[in-house]
């Protein structure tokens, strides 16, 4: 009597009364969650306009026209001119070349430093976890904006120092998120099995932990980019970012707000609308990615 050998393969489970449809690719993900496509399109449009602004801007953003200061929006200047006669639309388009890269560089600093810190603290545990997370708590002891202003004031007002300051403020967010995920993952069976088979810590981190950290980190990146843009605009508004006459959305709002009492609203509406669109795009993208990638929110 022969007994057929059991075959091992993927086990398919089906919940009773509930059929969960998970996206199998990028195309299906975008079709199931159109908010991702809409928000990405908005952000790509802003990035493209900023990238090609040297060729499509109607005027030189630094050109001073003393004969036409504070002109209202019209055919020659769609968003009017500022107090020095410079075209507001051109300066808004060029300002994206400053504000948008700041968000990505600052988020990159926070992601790398904070992610490595949280990963090390969560995986090693013990005294390493205690020391690293107390350093993170030390950063959290200061209000984010106050800490960023203090760092820029200490390093000196410049665009590079503003990026560093905003990146430092982002470190605790990624450190705490990564540590929490690692603590949850390293207690699961597949990590325990890999450790029992003699896998090295580097292999476990690269093969088992990092792939499972991607989804929450991607969502956090999109949300942190919005807060980084607001922080850069605030620092620029206070004169702690790119020096004048560099077109910068925050500094344009600062210079234009003093003329609001005269009814010259167009000097602040242009850069303010650009900041709102960028922040809205990042926040909407983060919410949509969270709904799409988090299995607890998937229906």
Q: Note the pLDDT of residue 208.
A: 86
Q: Note the pLDDT of residue 2.
A: 45
Q: Note the pLDDT of residue 100.
A: 86
Going residue by residue through the chain, which has 299 residues, state the pLDDT in tens, using 9 for 90 and above: 444 444 434 444 443 333 344 444 656 666 677 888 889 899 999 999 999 999 999 999 999 988 889 999 998 899 999 999 999 999 999 999 988 888 889 999 999 999 999 999 999 989 999 999 999 999 999 998 899 999 998 988 888 899 999 999 999 999 999 999 999 988 888 888 888 888 888 888 888 888 888 888 988 998 899 999 999 899 989 888 888 888 889 999 999 998 998 889 999 999 999 999 999 999 998 888 887 776 555 55
Q: Note the pLDDT of residue 59.
A: 92
Q: Note the pLDDT of residue 17.
A: 38
Q: Note the pLDDT of residue 298.
A: 55
Q: By C-alpha distance, which of 90, 71, 144 is closest to 274?
A: 90
Which residue ranges form the domains of the chain, and what is each CATH number? Answer: 29-71+78-293 (1.10.3720.10)
Q: Note the pLDDT of residue 43.
A: 92
Q: Note the pLDDT of residue 11.
A: 41
**pTM for the model:** 0.82
């Amino acid at each position: 009597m022969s007994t057929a050998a059991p075959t091992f393969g993927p086990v398919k489970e089906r919940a009773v009364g509930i059929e969960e449809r998970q996206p199998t690719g990028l195309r299906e993900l975008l079709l199931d969650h159109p908010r991702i496509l809409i928000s990405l399109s908005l952000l790509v449009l802003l990035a493209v306009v900023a990238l090609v602004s040297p060729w499509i801007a109607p005027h030189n953003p630094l050109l001073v026209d003393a004969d036409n200061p504070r002109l209202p929006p019209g055919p020659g200047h769609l968003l009017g001119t500022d107090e020095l006669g410079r075209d507001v639309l051109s300066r808004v388009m060029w300002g994206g070349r400053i504000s948008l890269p700041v968000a990505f560089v600052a988020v990159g600093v926070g992601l790398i430093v904070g992610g490595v810190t949280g990963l090390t603290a969560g995986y090693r545990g013990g005294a390493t976890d205690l020391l690293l997370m107390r350093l993170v708590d030390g950063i959290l002891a200061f209000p984010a904006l106050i800490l960023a202003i203090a760092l820029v004031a200490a390093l000196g007002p410049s665009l590079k120092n503003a990026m560093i300051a905003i990146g430092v403020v982002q470190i605790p967010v990624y450190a705490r998120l990564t540590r929490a995920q690692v603590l949850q993952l390293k207690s699961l069976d597949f990590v325990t099995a890999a450790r029992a088979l003699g896998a090295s810590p580097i292999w476990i981190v690269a093969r088992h932990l990092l792939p499972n950290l991607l989804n929450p980190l991607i969502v956090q990146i999109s949300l942190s980019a919005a807060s980084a843009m607001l922080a850069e605009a605030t620092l620029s508004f206070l004169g702690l970012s790119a020096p004048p006459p560099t077109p910068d959305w925050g500094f344009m709002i600062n210079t234009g707000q003093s003329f609001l009492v005269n009814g010259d609203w167009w000097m602040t509406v242009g850069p303010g609308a650009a900041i709102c669109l960028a922040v809205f795009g990042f926040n909407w993208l983060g919410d949509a990615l969270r709904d799409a990638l988090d299995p607890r929110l998937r229906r």
